[in-house]
Amino acid sequence: MTSNQFKRIVAGLMSFLASLIICFPSFALNNPELLPEHQTPVIDLARTFNQSQKTNLEKNLLNYEEETGWKIRVVTQFESSPGLAIKKYWDLDERSLLVVADPRGGNLLNFNVGDAYFALMPRIFWVELQTRFGNQYYVRDNGEDRSIIDAISAVKTCLNRGGCQVVPGLPYEQSIWTLTTSILGGLIAGFAAYPRREGKFIAWGWLLLISPLWVMLFGVFGIAPIVTRTNDILPLIRNTFSFFGGIIVAYIIASMAFANNNHPED
């Protein structure tokens, strides 16, 4: 893992912790003069979108609301904000989601979530959504416009599924994390499996005794995030082979290290 990749993971974790506090903003200001006279689902005060993107996004959100009844609205801001006036302008209710894009807080995205959304996607979902698509590295690599659109796309995917407990898709940092924990789980299981007594091939007692640790590393951290977030089978195969590869490597190292030692009885 390179130093840049490590920094991205650390930044994501710090952003996650910060999001536990600031995920759902409250609007103290009230500037109705910033609102357009005509009704539109996208108010782009920060000029984040080009005209084509804005037109397509407006059409997409209006069509989705007409088809499903779920209202999604977007406001981008930087130096000024419409504040409380936005709620009356869009008549935000329990089936409304307001996406606020403002880079001044460190994380681009904030969400004002209607109660009906929480029945399908818990609060931790919105924290993960914010940290995945609004963090500075994702914004730097994809742009503010793409970050907003990708976050909305993830919400719509979950609404179409009837709800999600986690954000769909496996980001690069999480993919590396699941691979790392799978390998570590395999190494621990391999060392535990090496027999402490001659005549045995596997030390089942030690393997079972340490099982809570390697099962958690491989199953909970290495496999579960993949099967809950994506249908892609390649990361699953990769982590499984890495786990068993770790077992083999650790077993061989243990056999070389203790080959000339007298093993205590199990």
For the stretch 214-249, pLDDT in tens is 999 999 999 999 998 888 899 999 999 999 999 999
pLDDT at 29: 64
The mean predicted confidence, pLDDT, of the chain is 86
List, for residues 172-211, the tens digit of each pLDDT value. 888 999 999 999 999 999 999 998 776 678 888 899 999 9
List, for residues 41-75, the tens digit of each pLDDT value. 999 999 999 999 999 999 999 999 999 999 999 99
In three state form, how does the secondary structure of 146-160 look?
Answer: HHHHHHHHHHHHHHH
Q: State if pTM tops 0.85.
A: no
Half-sphere exposure for 144 (CA within 13 Å, toward CB): 23
pLDDT over threshold 90, residue 127? yes
> Tokens standing for 114?
């209607």
pLDDT over threshold 50, residue 265? no
pLDDT at 207: 92
